[in-house]
Structure 1
Amino acid sequence: MLSLVPMRAEPSNKAELVSQLLFGECYEIISRQEKWVRIQLATDGYQAWIDLNQHTPISAAYYQEWKQTQHPRTMDLVQIISNSEERIPVGIGAYLPFFDGMNVRIGEQVYHYSGRASNPEAEATIAQLVKVAHNFMKAPYLWGGKSVFGIDCSGFAQQVYGICGVQLPRDAYQQVTVGEEVHFVNQTQPGDLAFFDNEEGRIIHVGIVLEDQKIMHASGEVRIDTLDHNGIYNAARKRYSHKLRIIKRIFPS
Structure 2
Amino acid sequence: MNFGICNLSIVPIRSEASDASEMTSQMLFGEHFTILEKNKYWSKIRLFYDNFEGYIDNKQFEEISKDYFQKLSTIESIYSGDIIDFISSDTNDLFTIPLGARLPSFTNNQFYINTKRFQYEGATFKGVLSKNEIIQKAFTYLNTPFLWGGKTPFGIDCSGFTQMTYKLCGYKIPRDAKEQASKGEVLSFIEESEPGDLAFFDNEEGEIIHVGIILNDYHIIHAHGKVRIDTLDHSGIFNSDLQKHTHKLRVIKKLI
TM-score (norm: length of structure 2): 0.95
**Separation in structure 2 between the aligned mates of residue 23 and residue 236 of structure 1, nearest angstrom:** 36
Matched residues in 2 for 1:21 and 1:113: separation? 19
Per-residue Cα deviation, 1:105-132 (whole angstroms, up to 9, x for no partner): 2111111111111122xx3112211111
Q: Which residue among 236, 239, 249 is the counterpart of 2:254? A: 249
Matched, 1:40 2:65: no
The superposition leaves residues 26-54 of structure 1 with CA deviations (integer Å, 9 ceiling, x where unpaired) of 00100023300000000000000000111
Q: CA RMSD in A?
A: 0.9
Find out whether 1:230 has 2:235 as its counterpart: yes
Contact conserved, 1:195 with 1:247, CA < 8 A, in 2? yes
* Residue of structure 1 in register with 2:11 after alignment: 5
Residue 134 of structure 2 corresponds to 129
> Residue 151 of structure 1 aligns with which residue?
156
What is the total number of aligned residue pairs between the two structures?
249
The aligned residue for residue 103 of structure 2 is 96
* Partner in structure 2 of residue 220 of structure 1: 225
| 2:244 is aligned with 1:239 | yes
- Paired position in structure 2 for 1:196: 201
Q: Which amino acid aligns with 1:34?
A: K
Deviations 1:121-163 (A, max 9, x none): xx31122111111000011100000000000000000000001
- Percent sequence identity over aligned pairs: 42
**2:33 corresponds to which of 12, 27, 38:** 27
Q: Secondary structure at the match of 1:31?
A: strand
Supply the distance in 2 between the matched residues of 1:195 and 1:64 (Cα, whole angstroms).
35
**2:122 equivalent to 1:115:** yes
Contact between 2:148 and 2:156, CA under 8 Å: does it hold in 1? yes
Deviation at 1:56, TM superposition (A): 1.1
Higher share in strand: 2
Provide structure 2 residue ranges, at least 5 long, that are not aligned to the other structure: 1-6
Moved >2 Å (runs of 4+): none
- Aligned residue in 1 for 2:88: 82
- Find the residue that maps to 1:57 and give its secondary structure: strand
CA contact (8 A) 1:185 1:228 kept: yes
| Superposition TM-score, scaled by structure 1 size | 0.96
Instruction: Kindly provide the CA deviation profile for residues 172-198 of structure 1, in whole angstroms up to 9, marking residues without a partner as x.
Output: 000011111111012211000000000
Q: Is the 8 A contact 1:124 1:165 kept in 2?
A: yes
Contact 2:37 2:44 in 1 (8 A): yes
Give the distance between the partners of 2:198 and 2:220, measured in 1 at CA. Answer: 9
2:211 counterpart residue number: 206
In structure 2, the partner of 1:177 is 182
**SS at 2:138's partner residue?**
helix
Query: Which range is displaced more, 86-95 or 143-152?
Result: 86-95
